[in-house]
Amino acid sequence: MNLKTKRLLVISLAPTILKDGKFWSYAPYVNEMDLWFKYAEQQRILAPFSYPENVLIKPFSTENIGRYYIPFFAFNSFFNILKALIILPFVIFQMIRAMLWADHIHLRCPANVSLIASFVQILFPWKQKTTKYAGNWDPRSDQPLGYRMQKAILRNTTLTKNMKVLVYGEWPGETSNIYPFITATYRDSERVPFQSKDYSKELVFVFAGMLVPGKRPLLTIKFIEHLNKNGIAAKLEMFGDGVLKQELQDYIIKQNLSQYIKLHGNQDKAVVRQALLDAHFNILLSKSEGWPKAVAEGMFYGCIPIATSVSCVNWMLGYGSRGIIVEPELNAAIDSFIKVYNANELDSLALNALNWSQQYTFDRLENNIETVLNGTFKSKV
C-alpha cells in the first residue's frame, strides 16, 4: 500500500493558469508535477497566475488542485525592484498561509519566488520539506546573487531543517541535506539494445535544443563545417526553434552548408527519437545547464555526447568515459573531437553512454518521487 503525503504544497515561479476549467502550466513542469501530485492526497500550488512571456503549456492531469495567488515579480530593473518591494508583504503573507496548511513543502528553485520562500520556510522547522534545484549546483560556477543566496540558505542545516535538497550531479563536500537526483524523458519500455554503428562513413550529429545564445547553436554549426573542411564527412540535424533561427539559416546559406546542415524546427518526440537512433553523436555546447536533458536523451539511444564542461556534464559523461568533453572554442573543440575519433574507441563510448542513461528512466523518477514524499528516499545515482 502506498503511503501518501496528506497535504502537498508546491511553490514555483511557473505560472498556474486557469483555462477551460483546468489549471495549466509550463509543459515539462506539468509532466513532473503530475508525478509529485500522484503521491499526495491534497495538492496546492503557490505561483503567479500570469507570466510576461509565451510558454508551452499543458493542463495538469490532477484534479481539484488548490492554489494561492501571488503576482509575478522580478528584480531585474529599478522599477521592478520597487514593485517587488511593495508587493513583498503580500507575497510573504501568502507563503505563510500556504506553509501553515501543508504537511510537505516543495520548492522549485532557482527563481525569485523560491528565493523568498527559502527565507520563509525557516519559520517552519518542524515541517517536512524538499527543494528541486533545477539549475546549476556547481559551487565553482559564476551565478547571479539571488541564485547564490538560495543555495547558501538551502545548504545551511542550522537555518534549514527537515529539508532534502535534490540537485543534479554529485558534488563532493556538500552538507548532509544535499541529495543527487535525476530527471528523465523515456520509460523503461522505450529502452533499446545497444547496436554498433559504422563510424567510417558520414557521421551524423543531432542538436536538440532552443536556438538561443546560451546553447551556442552557431558554434555547433561551425563545428560541423570545420569537420568537413578537415576531411571528416559530417552532417547535422538540428531540432528546435528560437531567436537565432534566421541568423543560423543566413549563415548556412552564406557558407553553402545546406548539404551538411538541416534546420528542422520543433518536432514531435517520436521524430527526435528516430533521429537519435540513426545518429552517431549528439552535441550540446551550452554556456550553462541545470540537467542537460538533450545530452541524456541522446545517450539513451547510444549517441555519443559531445558537450562542454558545465553543471553536472562531467559527471554525466563519466569524465570522458562515455562522451567527449570539449572547450567552447572552435579549434580546441575540433582538436578534442579528432583525438577521440582517431583513438578507435567510439563503440565503447557509445555503449557506456547507453548503459548509463538507460538507468535513469521516467519509471525510476516516479519511484524516487514517491520515496521522497513518504520519507524512504535514499539517493543512489
C-alpha cell at 85: 518591494
Per the domain annotation, does 121 fall within a domain?
yes
**Based on the domain organization, do 160 and 233 belong to the same domain?**
no
Same domain assignment for residues 165 and 300: no
Asked whether residue 13 falls in the same domain as residue 144, the answer is yes
pLDDT above 90 (res 188): yes
Residue 256 grid coordinates? 553553402
Indicate left, alpha or beta for 290 from its phi (over 0: left) and psi (-120 to 50: alpha): alpha
Quickly state the pLDDT bin for 317 (edges 50, 70, 90).
very high
CATH number reported for the structural domain that contains residue 132 in this entry: 3.40.50
- Evaluate whether residue 256 is within a structural domain: yes
Percent of the chain having pLDDT more than 70? 97
pLDDT recorded at residue 297 = 94
Domain region containing 211: 188-357
Residue 380 in any domain: the answer is no
Quick check: is 143 in a domain? yes
Say which residue, 317 or 380, is predicted with more confidence. 317
Give the three-state DSSP class for 185.
coil
Could you report the per-residue pLDDT of 288-299, keeping only the tens digit for each? 888 888 999 999
Average the pLDDT over 105-126 and give the result.
Answer: 97
**Mean pLDDT highest for which of 17-26, 162-171, 246-255?**
246-255
Close Cβ partners of 135 (under 8 Å, ≥ 6 residues apart):
109, 110, 143, 147, 290
Task: State the sign of the Cα–Cα–Cα–Cα dihedral 353, 296, 343, 232.
Answer: positive
pLDDT for 334: 97
Lowest mean pLDDT: which of 129-133, 205-209, 352-356, 364-368?
364-368
3-state secondary structure of 145: helix
Q: What is the pLDDT of residue 291?
A: 86
Confidence (pLDDT) at 379? 73
Total number of domains in the chain: 2
Query: Is there a single domain that holds both residue 14 and residue 119?
Result: yes
Phi, psi of 17 (to 5 degrees): -110, 130
Residues 152 and 202 in one domain: no
Residue 329 and residue 246 in one domain = yes
**Closest to 221 (Cα-Cα) out of 255, 194, 187:** 255
Contacts 24+ apart (CB under 8 A), 64-70: 65/16, 65/23, 65/37, 66/42, 67/16, 67/23, 68/44, 68/94, 68/95, 68/97, 68/98, 69/94, 70/46, 70/94, 70/95, 70/113
CATH of the domain at 232: 3.40.50.2000
Residue 93 located in a structural domain: yes
Residues 156 and 219 in one domain: no
Q: What integer pLDDT is reported at residue 1 of this predicted model? A: 44
Does residue 192 share a domain with residue 180?
Answer: no
Note whether residue 381 is domain-resident.
no
If asked whether residues 365 and 301 sit together in one domain, one would say no
User: Does any domain span residue 379?
Assistant: no
Residues 165 and 208 in one domain: no
* CA proximity to 216, closest of 48, 107, 333, 127: 333
**Secondary structure (3-state) at 26:** strand
Calculate what percentage of the chain has a pLDDT beyond 90: 81
201 and 180 assigned to the same domain = no
Look at residue 226 and tell me if it is in a domain. Answer: yes
pLDDT of 54 above 70? no
Query: What CA–CA distance (Å, rounded) separates 95 from 117?
Result: 7
Is 9 in contact with 101 (CB distance < 8 Å)?
yes
Confidence of residue 363 (pLDDT cuts 50, 70, 90): very high
Q: At 72, phi and psi to the nearest 5?
A: -70, 140
Q: Tell whether 179 and 210 lie within a shared domain.
A: no
Predicted pLDDT of residue 204? 98
Sorting pLDDT into bands at 50, 70 and 90, what band is 236? very high
Nearest to 89 by CA among 116, 56, 126: 116
Segment 326-350 shows an average pLDDT of 96
Mean pLDDT of 359-373: 92
Task: Tell me the average pLDDT of the chain.
Answer: 93
Average pLDDT over residues 202-213: 96
